[in-house]
Structures are given as structure tokens and as C-alpha cells.
Structure 1
Amino acid sequence: MSARAAGADRLVTPFGERTTAVEVLAGVDLSGRAMLVTGGSSGIGRATAQALAAAGARVTITSRSHDDGMLAAASIERATGAAVAVPPLDLADSGSIARLIAGWEGPLDALVLNAGVMAPPLARTPEGWESQFAINHLGHFRLALGLRAALAEAAVERGEARIVSLSSSGHGSSPVLFDDPHFERRPYDAGVAYGQSKTANALFAVEADRRWRAQGIRANAVMPGGAWTRLQRHWPAGRQEAIAAQAAATSVLAAASPLLAGIGGRYLEDCGEAELVTSIADGVHGVLAHALDPVAAEQLWELSVAMLEEHPASPR
């Protein structure tokens, strides 16, 4: 077992799986810092945005549904007293991504790539891309590339900017299928497609950190904790919020905690660095080597750039 897997240089923090997002930021002042959370209208994204806003950050959330986004923003504003911006964003629509990029002004201290879809029936974007790979990875990839200058500007002012890429233990279902990422020549399997997209989220963080760390931009992948879903919709609202607050803690740690200053290219879970494992035995904990492979990360980056260049986006 490698030193990393044995824990010799694994990141350990005072926090754990029961820590809430607010507890992670206790005593942290984010006043004046701009932070963007995709998929911020519900669940982990909303809890992440609320914790960042409570610590003083100027938070922007995105939602495919403008109404849902505005309701979430109003809720966060009531809880924190902070105004929340809500630009529309559909990660399956390259024009929507381009419009958000074109409309962004000023530095960006943290970009939390939280939005996503999980195991839907086969669907394709107008480019012909499989929807989970397109939304979970390529849409966020396009967004991050477009906002790189804003992140770099924040790094100049603050010393560092951060990208948080939400992955999942689902990455254990599949590496990136470089020979057929869009299931054009093989039968579609929703679980495999989801796993591929979550591996891509982790590999993106590895390669973004390698390419951009010299500019002060650090990137980490996050496996959030258990999140509220429709299965718990009959639970009391307070219990739902508590679960989301715990699930968002690792995202908030990666986005804004001083404990992660100068740290990148890691896969985090339960407010610390995950152990490198050969299988995710409990279905939740650990990271497989294929999700941290620097060769695969570079290959994915080049493939993604080629796909975006083949289908350039216009903000119109």
C-alpha cells in the first residue's frame, strides 16, 4: 500500500462526517469574496451557498429553473441577511453557459461545481453528447474554462482561488470510457454513464490543479455526505436541512476553509482526504486509482477541449 493510501500524507482536519457546513466556517470571515455555486437551488448546493453567505461571501447560485433559484435565494437571504444573485444556467445548453460567462464581472474566489444529474434514461444534448457526461462534466468544464480569468484575478488579489468539483463514490462504477464516452457504439447503461461522469469530475480537479496552480487556482474533488432526496420528502423540514448541512460540509471546506490553503488535486470526503482503495466496499468511502490518475486526467482534458472546440458556444 502506498504512503498516500496508508495515510502518511493524507489531509486530516478537525472535522468529520457529522460536521455541518456552518461549523466548518466558524470564525472564518469571507466578506467581499465572490463565490459561485451551480445547482444552488436545493439540497447540497443550497446548503453550501447558505453557509458561504452566512460567513460573509457574495454568493451567486445557478438553477435551471429560475423560479426555484429565486425561491432558494429568498430563503438564503432570510437566513443570512445576504443578497444572493441568481443567473439562469442550463449546463446542457452551451449558449446558456456562454451567457453566464459573458455576464460575469469581477474576480471569482471560489467556483463550486455542484449541479448534476444522476442515472436518467438515455438522452443527448444538441451536440449529440450523452447527457450525464455533458451536464456533469462537459458543461462544468466549459464554465470553468470561461471563468478561469476571473479565478486568476481573485488569486492575484487574495493569494488563491478555488474550484470544487463534486464527484461521488459512484465513480467506482466506471473509469472514463475514452473509446466511447457518449455510448454511441455500446449499449447505454445509466449507472456506468453516471460513474464515468463522476470519475471525470475527479479527474478534472486533478488536471485543473496541475495546469492552473501556478496562477494561484487550486482545485479539489469532493464526495459530499448523504444528501436529502425525494425519499425523505416527508421528513420534517428541520431534519432535511440538517442532513443537507452535513452533506455540504466537505464542499464548504474545499471552497473556503483556511485549512485547505495551498492544497489541490485531492479527493475529499467527510471533511478530509479519502483513502486510496481497490474497491469501495461500503459503497461510500474511499477513492479508486482511476479517479486520480494523472495520465487519464490529462487525456480527459485534451478530449474535452477537442469536444468544445468542435462545438463552440455563443452567448446569443
Structure 2
Amino acid sequence: MTAAIEVEHLVKRYPRGRANAVDDVSFAVLRGETFGLLGPNGAGKTTAIGILTTRVLPTGGRAAVAGIDVVADPIAAKQRIGVVPQTSNLDRSLRVREILTFHAAYHGVSRRERQARADALLEELGLAARGRDKLDWFSGGLQQRVMLGRALMHEPDVLFLDEPTNNLDPQSRLFLWDRIRALHERGVTVVLTTHDMEEADRLCDRIAIMDHGRILALDTPEGLRRLIPGGTMLEVRTRLPQAVPAGAPAGAEPVEAALAALPGVTAVERRPGSGTDDAAVYRLYATGDAGQLLASAAQAVVREEAELLDLRFARPSLEDVFIHLTGSNLRA
């Protein structure tokens, strides 16, 4: 399968910046793939998208979309891409249908074809009855639908979505997820940026985890999970005989030390307790027999005279992967 996007050693340095906003980034996106750039605000995701959509000039490196160098020929590149930005840039003086048809006219779509495409997209996006409306009373979710429709009017090869569900209500979020899945089924190449772990996990074929301008890892969601050390992950929830502050150094209390000493355990993380009680939650990463680990962990907690509240196997999340790679939680 050929690449829809090729990025080689991309760098963006702003004059007053202390560090590169994008720092020697390389990746490729396959045709028909839904590709995610996952990371916190300030990771460099939006800057990378800005370069790929010709809005930001890179300091160094190369980027091509549909085989077109975005710096050497930005006009040709723009004809092949659709963009849904992070914040609304819709013309509020126009009616919804006009927003779509004017955009298509700009891209050279014939009058008959743009009217037909507008009909189809308004229907698909649940806006068939709102085509003559202006945006004055449109919620953020409805405006996002209009921006998606506008981006698709010239049938781009690649669709870029920058934080597409940021600040949307749950219903609007799920609606947009369904539309992205439908585009994927039709073979549209989609690139989205997000700091929403669940969104990336549910929608993306592959994900690049970014932080401080660099790509830390790139793989399928399952491939990223395999970066977590150990083949088994067990969560142990206890009430300690004496309170130990969250964030205390590893081994600061006997239960943690006892769990870390179990055969096959490769790492133990102290995590925040849930609810209002004084529970301590430990996540164990281990190799070997899962059943034996379960029994040994329960015995270790009881042996240290702590109360065992819960014991369960867990599946690593993308946030676990991010913490493993960076040593910190994902910043909002």
C-alpha cells in the first residue's frame, strides 16, 4: 500500500522558542488509514498538522501529501486535502448550504456537482433541514458538522482533523466518531490530532505518541500496549495499616515492597486511590503464570496486615503507555 503522507526529519523552530515545536519528526501515513497524533497540548501535534496543511512553513525537513511537496507546491497540495481546524473558522454571514457550495466552487467543482454533493453531505451529517440557516444558534457540535461537510465538498485525498471533539458534548462526540468511521470504511485517509486516549484507541489504525515536539512511539494501539513491561498487569487495591502519602518513593511502605518482591514482578506503580476512602492502589507488571501472581499478591497483602479491597487483572491503556514512555500523566 502506498503512502498518502510522507514526513522526513521535519523541524519547526519559532524565533523566540526555547525548543523546537516539531523536532526531527518522521513518519508515513498509508492510503485509507486513520492515523492519530496523540499527545498533550504543546506536544507539537497542531504545528505538525499546520505544516502538512500548508499553513506553517517548516524550518527544515520535507513533507509531502498525495505525493506533492507541501512547501514546493502548496497550491496543488491544498487541492488534495480537507481540513477541520481546532476552532471554528466558518463565515457566519453565510447560510449552511452556502458555506459548503462556496467552498466547492473555490476548488473548481461544477455548479451541478456541488449542489449534489451539498445535498448528500447535509443529509449524511443530519443537517438536511438546516441548510438555509445561519450559524447564530448552532451549538459547537453542529458547527463541527458544518466544518466537516465543508472539508469534504471537494472530495479530498486526505482529511485532517485537529482535536475534532474537543469541548463537544458526549452526543456530538459519538456522532463525529461515527462519521470518521464511515469515512474510513469508504477508504478516505484521515489524520487526527487528539489528547483523548479513548478517541485515539477507538478510531485509529496507528498512533504516533508525541511529546515536546518528538515522536516517542508509533504503532497500532495493541502494538503500543506491548511496550508496557511484562505480559500481565494486575491491580491491587488495599487499605494500609498506616497511611502513606501518594507519590511516596517506591518501597516506602511494606505492602509495596512485598508486591515488588514477588516472583515475576518487573515493576510496581503506586496509583491514586478511587473514591473517598484511604485506599492504596498498586499496579503490578509481571511475567509468568497469572493465576500464581493473583494468589501470591493476595497473600503478600494479608501478610503485611493490610486489608485487601480488590484484586483484578487490567488491560494497559494508552495512558499507561504514555506514562511508561514519559514518566508523567498526559497533560490536558
Say which structure, 1 or 2, has more relative contact order (CA 8 Å, 6+ apart): 1
- Greater share of helix residues, 1 or 2? 1
TM-score (norm 1): 0.32
The structure having more radius of gyration, on CA atoms, is: 2
TM-score (norm 2): 0.31
